[in-house]
Structure 1
Amino acid sequence: MEVLIICPVNPTEDANKVTKGLENLLGRSDLTIMDSDHIQEISLSSKNQDILNLVRQTIHETRIIDAARKRLRLNWNGTSTKIYFDKQAAFARKTRIIDDDQELPPLGSIEIIISFDSESEFDDFINWFTPLTKNGKIINY
């Protein structure tokens, strides 16, 4: 499994504020800032799902497990999936999943791409990150 987190920094944005939003979402500060052709991009990659612990915890606490699970399943292409979060919400310490088919925030989004070696690895991840729920409660199966 490999996790890649990518967030563009628009010319009108303060890179420190975008970095702070990512830190709020991920609880990490070991981000890489790259410059290319007048565009900055902040990224982080890992082969460990623990990099997503804070995002997972927040998704569970805010009770948006079903929305996150649906988005990850809809974006599954057989080898990877992705989910988008609102940059401005992350800066304000809020977690807002973006429906990538329906909306695009003016300043863009935080994209989390997760690649897997097998479908069973994806299923294990989904069940850890966004377990099944019933009436708002996690189903222990």
Structure 2
Amino acid sequence: MIPQVDCTVEVVCQINPSEDPQKIRQSISNILDAFELELDKYSARATSDQAESLAKIRESIHNHHSQRVYSKFLNNNLEGDSTWFYLNKQAAFANSIALCERDNESPLGPIKVTVSSENIERIIEWLTS
């Protein structure tokens, strides 16, 4: 059940000169629901105030039985009321959600997903259990 808590989701990635901004838009649409998108020549920033926007990511976590891996990343990156993780941009364009351990794992740069909430532990629990 999707937690009914206040939550902010922010997704950011750089847009390289060789990349089509519409492909970046598609990549973000493949991983996130119900978001507002700001695109400029060099970057994309999507935001949502609903935990439900993370449903595709949660579904992927469970389909790939990667709850423990995501839990580790989310807890290791936890700072105050927020946490983050990287996703592979090329995989996202191919409609696949793939975690990156480091920002240089994705050749064109990763997509950074940041989640903030006063109940961040509840969001992490929902994503990973």
- Give the TM-score, by structure 1 length: 0.78
Q: Using the TM superposition, name which of 19-28 and 6-15 deviates more.
A: 19-28
- Which AA in structure 2 matches 1:124? R
1:5 Cα deviation (Å)? 0.9
Gaps spanning 5+ residues in structure 1: where? 132-141
Correspondence for 1:127: 125
Q: Structure 1: how far apart are the matches of 2:106 and 2:86?
A: 10
Q: Using the TM superposition, name which of 44-53 and 23-32 deviates more.
A: 23-32
1:114 Cα deviation (Å)? 1.1
- Which AA in structure 1 matches 2:109? G
1:57 Cα deviation (Å)? 1.0
Aligned length: 123
Kindly, what percent of the aligned residue pairs are identical? 30
Q: Choose from 47, 50, 63 the match for 1:48.
A: 50
Q: Structure 2: how far apart are the matches of 1:100 and 1:71?
A: 11
- Give the TM-score, by structure 2 length: 0.85
Check the 8 A contact 2:86/2:113 in 1, yes or no. Answer: yes
Check the 8 A contact 2:10/2:46 in 1, yes or no. Answer: yes
Gaps spanning 5+ residues in structure 2: where? 1-6
Correspondence for 1:91: 93
1:32 Cα deviation (Å)? 2.1
In the TM superposition, 1:1-141 aligns within 5 A as 1-27=7-33, 30-35=36-41, 39=42, 41-100=43-102, 103-117=104-118, 121-131=119-129
- Name segments (4+ residues, structure 1) moved above 4 Å: 27-30
1:94 Cα deviation (Å)? 1.6
Correspondence for 1:137: none
1:28 Cα deviation (Å)? 5.2
Q: Structure 1: how far apart are the matches of 2:36 and 2:49?
A: 14
